[in-house]
Amino acid sequence: MRRLLRKSQIPNPKSQIQTPGFGTWVLGFGIFCLALPLCLLAQEGRGGRGNNPLGAVGALGGGGRRAPDRSKEPTPRLADGTISLNGLWVGGGPVEDIAAGLPKGEKLPLLPAAVKLMEYRAQHESDDPHLWCMPMGVPRSTPYPFKFVQDMTGSTASSHLYILHEGNIHSFRQIFMDGRKHPAELDPTWFGHSIGRWENKDTLVIDTVGFNDKFWFDRNGTPHSEQLHIVERWTRPNMGTLVNAVTIEDPMYYSKAFTVTFTARLQGPNDEILENICQENNQYGPAGGHQNPFFGK
Amino acid sequence: MPEGRAGGGARQGGEGRGRETGPPRPTPRSSSGHVLLGSTPEEKGVWLPRGVAPNPLGLKDTPFQPWAKAVFADREKNELEPHTRCKPSGVLRQFLTPYGVEIVELPELQQIYVFDIGGPHTYKTVYMDGRSHPESLVPTYYGHSIGWWEGDTLVIDTVGFNDKFWFDRKGTPHSEKLHTIERWTRTNMGTLVNTVTIEDPTYYSKPFTVTFNARLQAPGDELMEYICQENNQYGTAGGHENPFGK
């Protein structure tokens, strides 16, 4: 069943009746949503910058349909005892501000170069590549769900694991699970080169290098360079919850490594990833009169 | 960046690299005898088409309805092709870029994924759990696919397409009524044959069938990252009007 209600700012429930181009309208609205700081379905109740012309999330009465709470159920496991990551998830990473994942009282160990770049980005919010339908990189999340494609026969069976994202963009991460090392020479990419392994069948550890420096960690524009090295530790403490503890190391912008932790919530059993093609009718792009920051580079 | 005309990028399509040499190896099967379309324990299943994107479908006599020819002619004249503007292309074209696809089967979850590199760098889901197509479908680029095995052939039935992509570079058209039935057979280790029956009464007076082959890439070949919408010279950067920009 399609999760039409998930795009919460649908003002008129009657507009959900199928009309020509409805799919596009919903997607277009979804994209419009991304450009507004308050469209944070994955962070309901956290608020945003408070200047959303539509008001607070849920103000129009739509509201994202909250997935049932399954945190009291035990963690599902494969036959060999490895945790199963199967399911549709929302959350698991920063949207507005990666610092939200720090332990209480901690601040990001930003070097002066990082502070300066963030100040620049705060004045040039439309430079966020995410708004231009570029991949969000790691570990950034969006209000849209994701899922793992995990070999279900057991932790040592498959050489690969994939993470599928609904948006932005409607694409996938590839994680090599066959024990290979990172290549000596890396071609910088949006999602980097990821190698993964299981620790005690309970934790999926993903080590990634080879990032380009083009994506922003969050809407605030928290930066990184091509020296970025990320280690994600994914665990599933119960049926309904995924925890992602991300250690970030980048000597160009941070004085030391730091760890941020985010949780993801399991979605309803009939929910599926929708097709969401950002580059179709992206109103934030030239159609919206915004200068493309990549033009001419 | 868009794929070049001759198949640009790191992976050259068509003949050459990765080709199976020597006598064909037998079709790989799981321990239960079921044909494996994707990876085997020894090798990944990265498939490249034989030849670059079909241009056109490869038919001698497409059973166009009279008005379909006019659409075709207009597209030939005004090449406002969605594929070069980084939009996904359903049916054949997901396979038929110079970069290939990877098929990942999850029998325990009764799903099959097809990952593509070039074009939108995205994925298609085939539901293998016996479900029917939903009654109310939001039209999408890749449609809604359900599949089942008939012996050694994987049959995939898809509806729910939007009409926004082109089957091929020439612009062979279709409508939202499009219904495709694909039949995939892995005739040997290195060869996948896909026979697609296309039914669309809006544009074609009767269903017709197209066949193409794919070739398994050499072990060690992996999907690479390809982000079409970054620096797409065919788009606004190249001074071309965005046909969707309205």
- Sequence spans of domains, chain A: 89-266
Q: Do A295 and B223 touch (CB under 8 A)?
A: no
pTM for the complete prediction?
0.79
- Residue A293 pLDDT: 66
A269 touches chain B (CB under 8 A): no
ipTM: 0.78
Q: Do B121 and A132 touch (CB under 8 A)?
A: no
B233 touches chain A (CB under 8 A): no
- Comparing CA positions, the residue from B208, B224, B193, B203 lying closest to residue B11 is B224
A186 touches chain B (CB under 8 A): no
Residue B239 near residue A295 (C-beta atoms within 8 A): no
- Residue B238 pLDDT: 63
A190 touches chain B (CB under 8 A): yes
Angstroms from A257 CA to nearest CA on chain B: 27
Instruction: Give the CA angle between residues A85, A91, A97 to the nearest 5°.
Output: 140
By C-alpha distance, the chain B residue nearest A277 is B87
Q: What average pLDDT does the segment B214-243 reach?
A: 74
Which residue in this structure is represented by tokens 């049959």?
A: B155
Give the C-alpha distances (Å, rounded to integers) separating B52 from A48, B8, B62, B93. 48, 11, 20, 10
| Whether pLDDT at B1 is above 50 | no
Angstroms from B126 CA to nearest CA on chain A: 12
> Nearest by CB to A174, which of B122, B139, B223?
B223
- Comparing CA positions, the residue from A290, A296, A288, A297 lying closest to residue A127 is A290
- Residue A21 pLDDT: 37
* Domain locations in chain B as residue ranges: 46-54+67-224
CATH of B46-54+67-224, one of 2.40.128, 1.10.8, 2.60.120, 3.30.1490: 2.40.128
pLDDT digits (tens, 9 = 90+) for B181-211: 999 999 999 999 988 899 999 999 999 888 8
**Cα R_g (chain B), whole angstroms:** 18
pLDDT digits (tens, 9 = 90+) for A109-137: 999 999 999 999 999 888 888 888 889 99
A295 touches chain B (CB under 8 A): yes
Angstroms from A275 CA to nearest CA on chain B: 7
> Nearest by CB to B227, which of A23, A190, A287?
A190
By C-alpha distance, the chain A residue nearest B111 is A149
A270 touches chain B (CB under 8 A): no
> Nearest by CB to A22, which of B39, B109, B138?
B138
- Residue A292 pLDDT: 67
Instruction: Find residues 19-78 of chain A whose CB sits inside 8 Å of chain B.
Output: 22-23, 26
pLDDT digits (tens, 9 = 90+) for B84-119: 888 888 888 888 777 888 998 888 889 999 998 877
Q: What average pLDDT does the segment B61-89 reach?
A: 84
Q: Do A273 and B85 touch (CB under 8 A)?
A: no
Give the C-alpha distances (Å, rounded to integers) separating B121 from A233, A274, B167. 26, 16, 17
Rounded CA gap, B32 and B147, in Å? 19
Q: What average pLDDT does the segment B19-23 reach?
A: 68
Q: Do A169 and B229 touch (CB under 8 A)?
A: yes
User: Token pair of A68, please?
Assistant: 């049932």
Collapse the DSSP code of B9 into the 3-class scheme (helix H, G, I; strand E, B; otherwise coil) and give the result: coil
Q: Do A171 and B120 touch (CB under 8 A)?
A: yes
By C-alpha distance, the chain B residue nearest A272 is B125
- Comparing CA positions, the residue from A203, A287, A281 lying closest to residue A243 is A203
Residue A188 near residue A84 (C-beta atoms within 8 A): no
Least confident of A32-36, B22-26, B28-32, B113-117: A32-36
Phi, psi for residue A286 in degrees, rounded to 5? -55, -30
Residue A42 near residue A267 (C-beta atoms within 8 A): no
Rounded CA gap, A281 and A295, in Å? 18
Residues of chain A with confidence (pLDDT) below 70:
1-65, 155-157, 285-288, 291-297
Write the DSSP assignment of chain A as a string of letters. ---GGGS---S-GGGGS--TTHHHHHHHHHHHHHHSTT--GGGTTT--SS--TT-STTTTS----PPPP-TTSPPPB-TTSPBP--S-EEESS-SS-GGGGSPTT----B-HHHHHHHHHHHH-GGG-GGGGT----SS---SS-EEEE--TT-TTT-SEEEEEESSSSS-EEEEE-SSPPPPSS---BSS-EEEEEEETTTEEEEEEE-B-S-S-SSTT-----TT-EEEEEEEEEETTEEEEEEEEE-TTTBSS-EEEEEEEEEPPTT--PPP--TTSS-TTTGGGT---TTTT-
Which residues on B lie below 8 Å from A2 (Cβ)? 134, 136, 138
Phi/psi region, residue A190 (left: phi>0; alpha: psi -120 to 50; beta: rest), is alpha
